[in-house]
Amino acid sequence: MNPSTSQSEFHVVFGAGPLGQSVARELVQRGKLVRMVNRSGKAPLGLPANVSVIAADVYNRDAARAAARGAAVVYQCTNAPYDKWPEMFPPLQANITEAAISANATLVVADNLYAYGDVNGPLHEGLPYAAHTRKGRTRAQMAEAVLTAHNTGKVRVAIARGSDFYGPGVLESAAGDRMFGRALQGKAAEVLGNIDAPHTYTFIDDFGKALVVLGEREAALGQIWHASNAETVTTRQFVAMVYEELGQPPKVAVMGRAMLWIGGLFIPAAREIVEMMYEFEKPFVVDSNKFERAFGIKGTPLREAVRQTVAWYQQWAGADALKS
């Protein structure tokens, strides 16, 4: 059975952050009925008006099941507090998995690249899980859990992985408000590590489209896929594109391990970034050829994606979206 053949079918997106919003936008463009689930029940700024938004505490399994009722496809786009992943993230995803099972829905899980650990060379889907960080080990555990559920016939699953993302709505990211928002204010972009090392950044709408495509394709199930990316450039080159779009000379402020460690004394999220700094200190190149060959979908060209991101920041500057 192809889980996504009807235009009127019902899709449930858990998580109302930028990725969940991107998934919802893509589904609406395809004529699907969409329910978004978050804690507050409030619609994020810019969400299509025909997306329904409900409140649910997904740490409550019964609430998660009720939120997914009737879904053909469930998308796991939620997150847990960055400094509490090991204890809070696995049960959150487990409840969403149970919700998909109860609805007899396909489950599409959004993931990142932490599970691979510190890799020399391009990151591809065939790499073993060799994470040395607590967040990487958590991600590996979560991926193994949902694939086991698939392999034992409990639920149909596909996993999409993206790198550090940017784009409309993205604030909390290495390429979020501290890069685009500060550039818009004429300040120096705050970036991590070695800015002359190549680093793959994932455009949020490419990531969202990847999740929707995986939910449509029977052949995608039981596998891990890297969302399509544009060409990889250095962080310095990436930042230069942002400032060029704004008609300004680039300005960069680099943060290293020592600065993050000091900041982490007061800000838990900054402390958590330290163990992931290996991603920014040497080349971090993501291979998305598997997805691109299978589905014929390339990543949005970098300059076009940067242009769309800058336009979103210009539109929403000063709005509540940039104050949270």
Closest CA to 290 of 238, 235, 217, 204: 217
Q: Does domain 170-200+233-284+301-316 have CATH number 3.90.25?
A: yes
**Cα gap 136→233, rounded to integer Å:** 24
Residue 51, CB half-sphere, CA atoms under 13 Å: how many?
Answer: 31
**Cα gap 310→125, rounded to integer Å:** 31
Q: Which phi and psi angles does 283 have, rounded to 5°?
A: -55, 135
Task: Provide the pLDDT confidence category of residue 260 given band limits of 50, 70 and 90.
Answer: low
**pLDDT digit string, tens, across residues 164-215:** 999 999 999 999 999 999 999 999 999 999 999 999 999 999 999 999 999 9
Percent of the chain with pLDDT over 70: 90
Extents of the domains making up the chain: 10-164+201-226, 170-200+233-284+301-316
Residues 221, 223, 227, 230: what is their CA dihedral angle, to the nearest 10 degrees? Answer: -120
CB 245 within 8 A of CB 311: no
DSSP character at residue 82:
G
Q: Which class for 196: exposed (0-12), middle (13-18), buried (19 or more C-beta within 10 A)?
A: exposed
CB 21 within 8 A of CB 167: no
CATH no. for 10-164+201-226: 3.40.50.720
Mean of the pLDDT values across residues 81-99?
A: 97
**pLDDT digit string, tens, across residues 44-81:** 988 999 999 999 999 999 999 999 999 999 999 999 99
The pTM is what? 0.93
Closest CA to 113 of 140, 92, 88: 140
* DSSP codes of every residue in 101-119: HHHT-EEEEEE-SGGG-S-
Q: What is the pLDDT of residue 263?
A: 59
Kindly state the helix (H) or strand (E) to which residue 241 belongs, with its residue range: helix 235-246
**Cα gap 215→107, rounded to integer Å:** 7
CB 172 within 8 A of CB 273: no
Q: Are strands 201-203 and 10-14 parallel, antiparallel or unpaired?
A: unpaired
Residue 8 clears pLDDT 90, i.e. is over it:
no
- Distances in Å between the alpha carbon of 31 and those of 1, 3, 77, 277? 20, 15, 20, 41
**Cα gap 265→236, rounded to integer Å:** 28
